[in-house]
Amino acid sequence: MRYALGIDPGGSKCDAVLIDETGNALAWGRGGPTHSYYDTPEVVSASYTEAISEALQGVTEAEIGVGGYFPPGAAAQAIAAAGRIVSYVPTGELETAFASAQEEWGMVVLAGTGSFAYGRTADGRTMHIGGLGPILGDYGSAYAIGLAGLRAAFASHWTQARRTSLAEAIPRALGVGNLNEVFDLAYRQGISRWRIASVSKIVDQEAENGDRIAISCLKRAADELANLAVDVVTELGMHELDFPLIAIGSVAQRSRTWWEQMCQRVVAVAPRMRQIIPRIRPAVAAALLALREMRVAWTPELVERIVQTQQPVLEAAEQRAASRGQPN
């Protein structure tokens, strides 16, 4: 049996998944953040190593294809210890996005910790905008939503019109007693980028519970990234094309309010757009690309087996990560 290892590093977490050549997802590993702008080389290396070691636990003398960003240092040694690398496919967020949707061209809107909008036409023209980080960009991202939620929570007592359940929900989620302690966390302890991004889940939960301020935070965020998506449609002349709009990242794939607002904005300028929330996770898509390099066909049966088997190993990885205080 041959195996494919898919690696998906990000600003909040690193995922690694092992699948066999028949499409069974066997193991999932999760580590911490891997962004070199915000984390030390030691943290980045440890995040890769943790994720990959968990995914390859118990594997020896195997033939392994690797898809994704090839890891540094100890993480690379963990792969070498598990067997022989028979192929390596360097993939980024765009390649895994299209692979996860089983599409070759269209538009990708990524909203995770960070964000961007990307378009690719059938004749090969492309446009990539956004992705400039929390200070200069990342419009509509988890970080942007988390920051908006924090600001709304602190403004909650100003007037009745600003009252929001976020004022109580956010301190609980951050593990502190009140907003004064959140203030201390932000200015004295130096709250991390990924922890601010984690607040976006609380904003989404409160929006689902009907809090109008939380709903407004999500819609404004979606509008910010939708502005970039509309620019891509305009610049590439995609108004009349039948193309997929592919959601990638935790916000785009999990927030109903955010995604509905995004689709509403894009379909207004491109009425033949098809919205897709992929059933295959990016790390698994990276493994799929490695399998293709190993001449394993993406049959409907293979893809369906992956979809059916990825969730249990992912949930196990999320439980382990939660016990370590890592983001999900």
pLDDT in tens, 167-217: 999 999 999 999 999 999 999 988 888 899 999 999 999 999 999 999 999
Token couple for 215:
């709903």
Please provide residue 78's backbone torsions phi and psi, each rounded to the nearest 5 degrees.
-65, -35
Least confident of 60-64, 128-132, 183-187, 308-312: 60-64
Whole-angstrom distance, CA of residue 38 vs CA of residue 23: 35
Token couple for 287:
């493994």
A 10 A CB-CB count for 60 gives 8
Whole-angstrom distance, CA of residue 24 vs CA of residue 278: 18
Together in a domain, 266 and 233: yes
Higher pLDDT, 76 or 312: 312
Question: The CATH number of the domain where 79 resides is what?
Answer: 3.30.420
Together in a domain, 118 and 251: yes
Question: DSSP letter at 70?
Answer: P
Amino acid occupying residue 13: K
Question: DSSP letter at 324?
Answer: T
Together in a domain, 44 and 185: no
Higher pLDDT, 173 or 12: 173
Number of independent structural domains in the chain: 2
Together in a domain, 45 and 139: no
**Are 140 and 222 a contacting pair, CB within 8 Å?**
yes
| 217 belongs to a structural domain | yes
| 65 belongs to a structural domain | yes
Together in a domain, 159 and 252: yes
Whole-angstrom distance, CA of residue 198 vs CA of residue 52: 23
**What is the residue range of 186's domain?**
104-278
Whole-angstrom distance, CA of residue 32 vs CA of residue 322: 11
Together in a domain, 128 and 162: yes
Together in a domain, 49 and 140: no
Token couple for 75:
């993480």
Strand partners, 197: none
| 285 belongs to a structural domain | no
pLDDT at 83 over 90: no
| 115 belongs to a structural domain | yes
Together in a domain, 245 and 123: yes
Among the listed residues 272, 264, 278, 265, the one whose alpha carbon sits nearest the alpha carbon of residue 228: 265
- pLDDT for 206-264, tens place per residue? 999 999 999 999 999 999 999 999 999 999 999 999 999 999 999 999 999 999 999 99
Question: The CATH number of the domain where 219 resides is what?
Answer: 3.30.420.40
Together in a domain, 111 and 257: yes
Tokens 């943790």, residue? 50
Tokens 């919205």, residue? 275
Together in a domain, 12 and 112: no
**Are 67 and 19 a contacting pair, CB within 8 Å?**
no
Higher pLDDT, 139 or 135: 139
Decide: helix, strand or coil at residue 296. coil
| 249 belongs to a structural domain | yes
Q: Where are the beta strands (DSSP E) in the chain?
A: 2-9, 14-20, 25-31, 62-68, 83-89, 106-111, 115-120, 126-130, 244-248, 274-276
| 305 belongs to a structural domain | yes
Together in a domain, 82 and 122: no
| pTM for the structure as a whole | 0.87
Question: DSSP letter at 192?
Answer: -
- The pLDDT of residue 328: 63
φ/ψ region of 35 (left if φ > 0, alpha if ψ in -120 to 50, else beta) reads beta
Together in a domain, 52 and 121: no
Among the listed residues 94, 153, 139, the one whose alpha carbon sits nearest the alpha carbon of residue 118: 94
| 98 belongs to a structural domain | no
